[in-house]
Amino acid sequence: MTLLANTLTLPCGAVTPNRIAKAAMTEGLATPAGLPTPELERLYGLWSDGGAGMLLSGNIQVDRDHLERPGNVIIDSPPSPEMQSALARWAAAATRNGNHFWAQISHAGRQTQKNINPHPKAPSAVKLGLPGGQFGQPVALTIDEIEDIVRRFGVCAAAVKKAGFTGVQVHAAHGYLLSQFLSPRSNQRTDSYGGSLENRARALLDCVAAVRKAVGTGFPVAVKLNSADFQKGGFAFSESLQVAEWLQAAGVDLIEISGGTYEQPKLLGIAGIEDEEPQAVAQSTQLREAYFVDFALAMQAKVTIPLMVTGGFRQRAAMEQALASGSADLIGLGRPMCVLTDAPNQLLAGLTELPRYENNLSLFPRWLSFLGNLKALRAIAGFATQYWYYSQIDALGRSGKADPDLSVFAATKQTMALQKKLTAK
């Protein structure tokens, strides 16, 4: 029997049916007001039927003025009866196969697009360094505003638990607000939330405490944490190790290891706008497939908390090696499940390798090669490729079927048109 079929018992006592998780991916399928829709129910019903032991939602935002993209689900106050009912229907569809369904709770901070908020709140007034003018000049948060955000994380956690979600994940990676607090590059505060790592981690640990208080002791609480930002002057792996120890002491049940920001999108496997900052982590003999497996292996030497590794896994042998070596306790799958919604069932039944849908984008990489070393353009092109996956998720939610023959150009056009519609006043 494959190691992927083993159960996982978390510190809180909850048990996942197997070691495969559907990783969080932005859906963009909520109403403009942030309510879950029948499309989200259809999408997560398909993924539940697909056999993963745990599904993670995309960003559920705690502030409607700070969305990751239009179409996010929003819980920024105690839910109305309409919202609570919509959340309950979503949770019921997403758990219909007996799997876990965890809410990823987030605040985008300075990574809020200008068409949503031209002056988003952030730890410091440090603008996102991306070309194209999509992101505005942020405004530094006051301490009262930080404390209000912490409160909102607790409100959101209580709401999803009441709705039937079986766990929560606090998003502190990929350059969103709590990740911005951790990075000395984006956090230039001189008060109790800036400077030392202990201060920069305060907002995250306060949010974890608020979430734990809201859901109680027997409910899974996870954190998505960057192994590093991979940027000069950013959050480094040595700091990530220390934060992981603090999270373990705070009673977190699982840490998902990831990395990068919008400026350095390591998770997407594409070039950032600057050279990648190397990190002091030893290379293991693991199969060179998953992006963050070596970081997870090094982290296991510091903490006993279960770790989830997401990003790059396609071969079942690489997944099993990560589990057998102890570098991962849970395997996260993202992009493959945008088309092959039953990828977990197929792996458990003996499939040796998942399809690599990047091959469907053959025209785009050929065009991309002409860009050479123009990293800013390569970064923009990489995000356009990401729109292809957005379109697959959209198609699954609206029709129940993916569209792998869709071109990346058509996908980009569709995604931009939908975002414009969702932000129309």
- Taking every pair of C-alpha atoms in the chain, what is the biggest distance, in angstroms? 54
* Model pLDDT for residues 22-64, shown as the tens digit of each residue: 999 999 999 999 999 999 999 999 999 999 999 999 999 999 9
User: What mean pLDDT comes out for the span 150-174?
Assistant: 97
Predicted TM-score (pTM) of this structure: 0.91
Q: Reply yes or no on whether the pLDDT at 191 is more than 50.
A: yes
Asked whether residue 285 carries a pLDDT value surpassing 50, the answer given is no
Question: Is 79 within 8 Å of 158 (Cβ atoms)?
Answer: no
What is the rounded average pLDDT for all residues in the chain? 88
Residue 81, C-beta contacts closer than 8 angstroms, at least 6 positions apart:
none
> Quick count: other Cβ atoms within 10 Å of Cβ 294?
22
Mean pLDDT over 297-309 rounds to 91
pLDDT reading at 280 higher than 70: no
Whether residue 369 is predicted with pLDDT greater than 50 in this model: the reply is no
DSSP string, 79-109: PPHHHHHHHHHHHHHHTTTS-EEEEEEE--G
Going 297 to 292 to 243 to 223, the CA torsion angle's sign is negative
Is residue 181 over pLDDT 80? yes
- CB half-sphere exposure, 136, CA atoms < 13 A: 17
Domain boundaries, the chain: 17-359
Residue type, 31: T
Mode of pairing for the β-strands spanning 330-333 and 167-172: unpaired
CATH number of 17-359: 3.20.20.70
CA angle 295, 301, 305 (to 5 degrees): 85
pLDDT in the model for residue 298: 85
